[in-house]
Amino acid sequence: MSRRQTRHDARRRTLADHDADALARRASRGDSDAFAALCTGIHHDIWRYCWSLTGDRDLADDATQETFLRATTAIGRFRGDAPVRVWFVVLARRSLGDTLDRAKRAPVPADPVAIPVRDGTGYVDLGALITALAPDARQAFVLTQMLGFSYADAAVAMDCPVGTIRSRVFRAKSALVDAWHADHHTDAAHETNAEEASE
């Protein structure tokens, strides 16, 4: 699986970076059509990001709305120093912090969105595995793997060195592989027990 292919997969329903940046530059000059197209094209990424950090659909919905409301006033200050998707993620991180403050709770994966994956021995809820990751590793994983950010862009979004992103992505993937194996073993054991009981 090449990076080029996966990047295409990750962004198959979102705007390409150069298109998004061009729309953002027009929007920063007050072009409302460009702003509408940008918001429509990028909101899935922002919602996924918010969901990945909270593990909670309602909080993700609130934070996504807050992010785009803030963008209406902040887009005039967009300078294009980083891709607009990175700029939006930074905005979303701040909105998320305020949303969590208002909700007066920490980002606990209380309501994980299911990503059921059937794989030979049964189903694995990949969404639950992702929301169970450590917050920093989870954020790095979502940005680089699910949203298709380069490590450099993810480093800007998370305000840390690129090397830190690299180690966080590795930690996240290692933890997911371990959890995947553990779930499969558990599922396989359950199925074996069920089969033995039925016999």
Partner 1 sequence: MTGDDTNCTHAREWLCAYRDDEADDDALARSHLDTCNNCQCWSATFDRVTRHARLRAPMAPAPVTATVTRIAREAPPVRHATFGRVLLGIAAASGPLVLILDAAGVFGHSHLGSTDGRHADVLTTALYGGYALAAWRPDRLAAGLLPVAVLAAAITLALSVVDVTSGAVSILDELSHLPLLIGAAGAAVATRASQPVAAPPTDRTTHTPIAHSV
Residues in contact with partner 1 by CB under 8 A are 1-4, 6, 9-10, 13, 27-32, 35-36, 38-40, 43-44, 46-48, 51, 57-58, 61-62, 64-65, 68-69, 71-77, 113-117, 119, 126-127, 129-130, 141, 144-146, 150-151, 166-167, 169-170, 173-174, 176-177, 180-181
Helix (H) or strand (E) holding 118: strand 116-118
User: Nearest approach, Cβ of 198 to partner 1 (angstroms)?
Assistant: 29
* Torsion sign, CA atoms 128, 132, 136, 137: negative
User: Nearest approach, Cβ of 40 to partner 1 (angstroms)?
Assistant: 6
Strand partners for 117: 124
CA-to-CA dists, residue 175 to 3, 129, 166, angstroms: 21, 9, 14
The token pair that represents 111 in the structure block: 């309501």
User: Nearest approach, Cβ of 86 to partner 1 (angstroms)?
Assistant: 16
Terminal alpha carbon distance of the chain: 42
Nearer to partner 1, 47 or 87 (CB): 47
CA-nearest of 133, 150, 145 to 85 is 150
Nearer to partner 1, 20 or 198 (CB): 20
DSSP 133-193: S-HHHHHHHIIIIIS---HHHHHHHHTS-HHHHHHHHHHHHHHHHHHHHHHHHHHHHHHHH
What backbone phi and psi angles, to 5 degrees, belong to 101?
A: -60, -45
User: Nearest approach, Cβ of 199 to partner 1 (angstroms)?
Assistant: 30
DSSP letter (8 states) at residue 76:
G
Nearer to partner 1, 18 or 196 (CB): 18
Nearer to partner 1, 74 or 82 (CB): 74
Nearer to partner 1, 107 or 147 (CB): 147
Nearer to partner 1, 6 or 186 (CB): 6
User: Nearest approach, Cβ of 148 to partner 1 (angstroms)?
Assistant: 8
User: Nearest approach, Cβ of 47 to partner 1 (angstroms)?
Assistant: 3
